Chain A
Amino acid sequence: MSFGGVRHFTFLYEANTLAPGSLELENWITWQHATGTGRFDQVDFRHELEYGVTENFQTSVYLADWFYQNDREHSGFAYSDTALELIYNLTNPVVDPVGLSAYCELKGGDRLIELESKLIAQKNLGPLILAYNTTLESVWEGNDLSERESEFSQAIGASYEVSPRLSVGLELLHEFVFLEWRDEEKIRNLLVGPNVSYRRQNWFVTMTALAQATDTKDEPDFQLRTIFGIAL
């Protein structure tokens, strides 16, 4: 059993990939809370199996993504989707000017197809890790998959290693949402908040709390994500 790796962020990916042969299970829980007239609570669950294929390439399967939603009209659990993810590491965050990785994810579910790609950038400066992700996401959903949405987002994060087991930091997320692949509604979201990561022998837990700095209706005002990873 070998430990794949630790996440220092929950809303950003890091550029380094797992060692060949490493297998890790990560469980994600994201609580989203919206206030006001469109008040709702939603808790999303993801279960990810990560595997290091080569020194620079890893693959993951997101087993059943599911969620619990509670709003004015209904509440209950539902299955969302299953996904396949590929990450290829191009450069190293320590010895190269910037560590870069390319990311691709294909998600399929009940009347849902989603394609996501990212460019992951990271720089390690001693005990400080800086990360930047830029993401383009396209969604087809609904009957006949006729409803379309896309999202361009960028995220930046900083994590400082306080001790060999503990890191603290910040994450910032900036989203551009295009309903029906148009920018008529000018939906822009900015979320920011702190994170903390703790690791032991073969497991880690990382948590991020984000608050919405913009005022977009129907978007969560607050999100809390926890990722728990363990070597298999």
Chain B
Amino acid sequence: MNQISNCGRSLELLCEMRRLAIWIMAITCLVDLSSCGTTSFTPPPVTVELVRNGSDPHRDIAMLSEGRALFVHRCIECHTLPAFWRYSTEDWPKIVDSMAHRSNLRPAERDAIVAYILAVRGQ
């Protein structure tokens, strides 16, 4: 009788572990989807070329890096990040302005985000 109940418990534990393994595999697959055509949604890192790409003489690596960090942290509090190409270079500053207060952005932070977006948009 003990053997039978032990078998039952072992089978149950096996089922639970199998279920957990399926969860882990499912999560891993879903995370891996980020390499399947969705990398266009990942804001590009700041490089020297990105800084040079544009007409604004005031922006530098530090400003664009701060802009990127704020863009990926503050903006996702309320919504997912839209693709850069969705809006024109004329529209982006107005869009950021309309949401700056909502996301508690200081003027310098707002400028950094706009500078980063326009640098990427201009590539």
Which A residues are closer than 8 A to B by beta carbons? 1-6, 16, 18-22, 52, 55, 92-95, 97-98, 121, 123-130, 132, 154, 156, 161, 164, 174, 186, 199, 201-202, 204, 231
- 6 closest A-B pairs by beta carbon, nearest first, are A5-B77, A2-B104, A126-B41, A19-B104, A3-B102, A94-B72
Contact residue among B72, B80, B104, B105 (Cβ-Cβ distance under 8 Å from A161): B80
Contact residue among A5, A121, A128 (Cβ-Cβ distance under 8 Å from B78): A5
Most-contacted residue by chain B among A93, A126, A128, A129 (CB, 10 A):
A126
Q: How far is the CB of B81 from chain A (nearest CB, A)?
A: 6
Q: How far is the CB of B40 from chain A (nearest CB, A)?
A: 8
User: In the bound complex, what is the Cα–Cα distance between A3 and B79 (angstroms)?
Assistant: 12
User: In the bound complex, what is the Cα–Cα distance between A16 and B80 (angstroms)?
Assistant: 12
| Beta-carbon contact of A16 and B41 below 8 Å | no
Contact residue among B31, B40, B77 (Cβ-Cβ distance under 8 Å from A6): B77
Overall SS of chain B's interface:
helix
- Complex interface residues of chain B between 7 and 50 (CB less than 8 A to chain A): 12, 23, 26-27, 30-31, 33-34, 38, 40-43
Contact residue among B12, B41, B83 (Cβ-Cβ distance under 8 Å from A186): B12
Contact residue among A22, A125, A199 (Cβ-Cβ distance under 8 Å from B79): A199
User: In the bound complex, what is the Cα–Cα distance between A199 and B26 (angstroms)?
Assistant: 29
| Beta-carbon contact of A199 and B78 below 8 Å | yes
Check: B52 CB closer than 8 A to any chain A CB.
Answer: no
* Residues A94 and B43 in contact in the complex (CB < 8 Å), given A19-B104, A125-B34: yes
Q: How far is the CB of B103 from chain A (nearest CB, A)?
A: 6
User: In the bound complex, what is the Cα–Cα distance between A55 and B71 (angstroms)?
Assistant: 12
User: In the bound complex, what is the Cα–Cα distance between A18 and B73 (angstroms)?
Assistant: 9
Check: B76 CB closer than 8 A to any chain A CB.
Answer: yes
* Residues A95 and B23 in contact in the complex (CB < 8 Å), given A20-B104, A123-B34: no
* Residues A92 and B73 in contact in the complex (CB < 8 Å), given A3-B102, A6-B78, A127-B80: yes
Q: How far is the CB of A129 from chain B (nearest CB, A)?
A: 6
| Beta-carbon contact of A21 and B104 below 8 Å | yes
Most-contacted residue by chain B among A21, A55, A125 (CB, 10 A):
A125
A-B contact pairs, 15 of them (CB 8 A): A3-B78, A3-B103, A5-B77, A16-B76, A19-B103, A20-B104, A92-B72, A94-B81, A95-B72, A123-B30, A126-B41, A126-B81, A156-B23, A186-B12, A231-B102
